[in-house]
A and B are shown apart, each in its own frame.
Chain A
Amino acid sequence: QQQVKQSPQSLIVQKGGISIINCAYENTAFDYFPWYQQFPGKGPALLIAIRPDVSEKKEGRFTISFNKSAKQFSLHIMDSQPGDSATYFCAASLRAQKLVFGQGTRLTINP
């Protein structure tokens, strides 16, 4: 019930393409869904986050799409750039309690 399942484990996208990473959860009471980005040799850093009262949130080239009925949310990276190559983690939490992270996706953008 507390798990967040993330896919794919790794993803290769051509420069300029759209990168899509998906996450699914079981606990319908989760109320906060952040995405963290981690570059090699660095700790993760918050990229973008959404609450379930909206279906989409966009910040620059990064968009979270949220489907409450399907219990799924996804990260879309438009016009993907080599500098976006990193590991991405989705997460979820309930009533401001601890975050539950997905398994991570290693994204590679080929130039």
Chain B
Amino acid sequence: DVKVTQSSRYLVKRTGEKVFLECVQDMDHENMFWYRQDPGLGLRLIYFSYDVKMKEKGDIPEGYSVSREKKERFSLILESASTNQTSMYLCASSSRGAGLTDTQYFGPGTRLTVL
């Protein structure tokens, strides 16, 4: 059974803190994605990676960075958390089979609150 796990389900941080969100997939997928989900805005792509050490900006990369040192792990970093980054963060992975549109498998999400 395919599995994408995220390090925390709930996280509370203070403004200005550095925040790390971790995602691990066990499907040997090449592609990994970070989205944020906000009511009324749907899923918006922050960053994605199609290979180890490769990364591409999504639609809303400002205030975020990512790291992919191993194929199975993709980290999202908030260098200095701000209140407008309070959101649900979803990680996903997919195989390279049909480009970036192959079925994406999502983790359960991390609900981040920045105070």
Contacts and interface: CB of A to CB of B under 8 A. Distances in A.
Interface of A: 6, 9, 32, 34, 36, 41-46, 89, 93, 95-99, 101-104
Given A93-B101, A96-B99, A96-B100, A43 B40 contact: no
Interface residues of B, number: 25
B48 interface: yes
A9 B42 CA distance: 10
A99 B108 contact: no
B103 interface: yes
Nearest to B102: A96
14 contacts: A42-B106, A42-B108, A44-B106, A45-B105, A89-B42, A95-B99, A98-B33, A98-B45, A98-B48, A98-B58, A99-B100, A101-B35, A101-B42, A104-B39
B106 A45 contact: yes
Contacts, number: 59
> Would you call the interface of chain A mostly helix, strand, loop, or mixed?
loop
> Would you call the interface of chain B mostly helix, strand, loop, or mixed?
strand
B42 to A, nearest CB: 4
Contacts of B99: 95-97
Given A36-B104, A89-B43, 13 more contacts: A6-B42, A43-B92, A44-B104, A89-B42, A95-B99, A96-B99, A97-B99, A98-B45, A98-B58, A98-B100, A99-B45, A99-B104, A101-B43
A43 B100 contact: no
Contact of B44 (A41, A42, A101): A101
B43 A97 contact: no
Contacts of A42: 106, 108-109
Contact of B40 (A34, A46, A97, A103): A103
Contact of A32 (B35, B101, B107): B101
B12 to A, nearest CB: 18
